[in-house]
Amino acid sequence: MIAEQTLTDQYLRVRAHSEAICRGLETEDYVVQPIVDVSPPKWHLGHTTWFWETFVLVPNAPGYRIYHEDFSFVFNSYYESVGRRVLRTDRGNLSRPTVAGVYAYRAYVDEHMSRFLDTADIAPELYALIELGFNHEQQHQELLITDIKYILGHNPLFPAVEMPITEHRPESPASAVSLAEGIYTIGHRGNGFCFDNELAPHKVYVNDTILSGNLVTNADYLAFIEAGGYQNFRFWLSDGWAWVKANDVQAPLYWHRVEGEWWNYTFDGLKPVDKDVPVCHVSQYEADAYARWKGQRLPTEFEWEAAAQQLAWVSRWEWTNSAYMPYPGFTTAEGAVGEYNGKFMSGQIVLRGASVATPEGHSRPTYRNFFQPDKRWQYTGIRLTSQ
């Protein structure tokens, strides 16, 4: 992908997409943080800019002057080695810098990055860091979309907003995929970009397994709801059942019961639930309970990867039943970027695939997304497996 254009072109294209996602927002939409998981859009735009400034310009561009000495405190996310930062819970409490100020910051850094990429001699180590920067911003583009949806989806006006994605589309019918018992190589191979958590390639044993060719649809999931799935503890893991009871969960996120019918918040506003599209915004607890109700289960991440070339996986991040753990041979990079993935390998579940919000070309069969099992504000779905 990078070889087809200059690094400057690639940089500007990635940066422009972040701003295109926010094009339909009002100023007030940029500053809201309804829950700790959701960051204000203004913060995402500033944080991704801080990443380029901190990790590329400051150490590599002679004479570069930091835009604002306090922005590292405001826009650092979790990099302990970089210094102190605003608590994640407080990101929505900051009225300054203003939205206009954040866009001015982006313009300043973009100007200096363009000049740097046009003139610098890019060594392999720096090239790898720039490539990480592209992928880092693409991750935040997906988070921008899902955070904006959460912000607007919890507004009682259910506002519609322009967004450069198609959220819901029926899948074409697909045959189930049978995996033969055997040894499979898992993990990224080759010279293309990958995150450190996709390494190192290693062998795993997989039993005979059948993966569904299609994701679970809203119609499928409605049958679970109508059968009393949320009222029957027998389908739920203990933690999942406690989560259902504590939060009075009765349906996927963004579903609303209106005069006896189910409606769903989308970027087009509140719409009747489309029964033909893959169910979305479900937790791993819900995905697991649905699978148990069907007498099946979720795939392991290794089963999923072994079958990936035969699956269509572009609309929903697919929950697995695999804990997010390091692969054999996993190593972290030197310095602050070594904090990127490894320190989160506790209490999280792996998701595989991609979603409608994933930037084009960002994902791959070895990509390992991860969230805690109760999270459902991402575009998450369900694929069933049986043996």
Q: Domain of 293: which CATH number?
A: 3.90.1580.10
DSSP-derived 3-state class of residue 134: helix
Instruction: Please tell me whether residues 126 and 49 are part of one structural domain.
Output: yes
At residue 273 the predicted structure's pLDDT band, cuts being 50, 70 and 90, is: very high
Instruction: Please tell me whether residues 349 and 219 are part of one structural domain.
Output: yes
% of the chain surpassing 90 pLDDT: 91
Instruction: Please tell me whether residues 267 and 357 are part of one structural domain.
Output: yes
For residue 237, the enclosing domain spans: 177-386
- pLDDT tens-digit map of 201-239: 999 999 999 999 999 999 999 999 999 999 999 999 999
- pLDDT tens-digit map of 355-385: 999 999 999 999 999 999 999 999 999 999 9
Count how many domains the chain has: 2
CATH code for position 65:
1.20.120
pLDDT at 77: 87
Instruction: Please tell me whether residues 217 and 264 are part of one structural domain.
Output: yes
Best CA proximity match to 61, nearest among 99, 12, 108: 108
Instruction: Please tell me whether residues 276 and 339 are part of one structural domain.
Output: yes
pLDDT at 340: 74
Instruction: Please tell me whether residues 219 and 284 are part of one structural domain.
Output: yes
pLDDT at 3: 46
Q: How far apart are CA 181 and CA 207, in angstroms?
A: 4
pTM exceeds 0.85 for this model = yes
CB atoms within 10 A of CB 195: 17
DSSP-derived 3-state class of residue 386: strand
Instruction: Please tell me whether residues 235 and 285 are part of one structural domain.
Output: yes
Q: Where are the beta strands (DSSP E) in the chain?
A: 177-179, 182-186, 202-206, 209-211, 255-258, 261-266, 269-272, 317-323, 349-353, 369-371, 380-381, 385-386
Q: How far apart are CA 11 and CA 111, in angstroms?
A: 11
**39: which DSSP letter?**
P
pLDDT at 1: 40
Instruction: Please tell me whether residues 136 and 182 are part of one structural domain.
Output: no
Query: Which amino acid is it at 336?
Result: A
Instruction: Please tell me whether residues 80 and 204 are part of one structural domain.
Output: no
pLDDT at 348: 97
* Consecutive H or E run containing 117: helix 99-119
Q: Is the predicted pLDDT of residue 274 greater than 60, yes or no?
A: yes
**HSE-CB of 54 using CA atoms within 13 angstroms:** 24
